[in-house]
Amino acid sequence: MAKEVIKIMVSSAVYGYESEIQQICSIINSYKSNKYRYKVLNSHIGSIPSIPGLSPMDSCLRAVDDCDYFFGIILPRYGSGITHKEFNRAVKLDKPRGYLSHYTVVIAKYLLAQYMYLDIKTKKKNPNFIFKKTPIFEDTKIIDMYNEAIGDGKPIDKRLWAQEFGHKSGDALIFVEALFGDIDRFKKDLDKIKQ
């Protein structure tokens, strides 16, 4: 009997973290039960089809549309912005989703808030704030992406979790195991969300 496939979209963020992304995707794909298995959709590992006539970005956005669960990874590098568009699409479609965030993103969020905003509470942007790219943090759009992902400013019961990683080797995999390891529980939780 064929196992039911649960499609997990792992966001396209990758630059500088290729081996970690590869490992996360491989581990998620390895989990199975008698009834279910995962299929990871991720551009880096090549499991997102390049749709004829569509740009790479549009192919990635189609994968967000098609997935059962969106797993966003927030890194301190912004890149081309495809990941941000994937996050926005997942939020717009209200896809079941979860996030991993590199710990430097959270530090930058709190450290730069006093400069980025005229009013931290309302997130009113400071028009005079200019951020210069650094070797450890590339763009403040990453902070915007993080805030959008977790639902910053929403009531606490409407926010989402972004698990920090990068403090020590392998700490992201602990969260991946906790979230995806029990595939039967994950499917049951997913079905509850969809009701």
Angle at 65 between CA 22 and CA 155, to 5 degrees: 90
> Which pLDDT belongs to residue 43?
92
- What domain range is 102 assigned to? 4-194
* pLDDT of res. 149: 92
Judged against a pLDDT cut of 80, whether residue 161 lies above it is answered with yes
What pTM did the predictor assign? 0.92
Band of pLDDT at residue 1, cut at 50, 70 and 90: low
Q: How far apart are CA 195 and CA 192, in angstroms?
A: 5
Q: pLDDT per residue over 60-110, tens digit each?
A: 999 999 999 999 999 999 888 899 999 999 999 999 999 999 999 999 999
Domain count, the chain: 1
Residue 71, beta-bridge partner list? 10, 98
Give me the CATH number covering residue 84. 3.40.50.10140
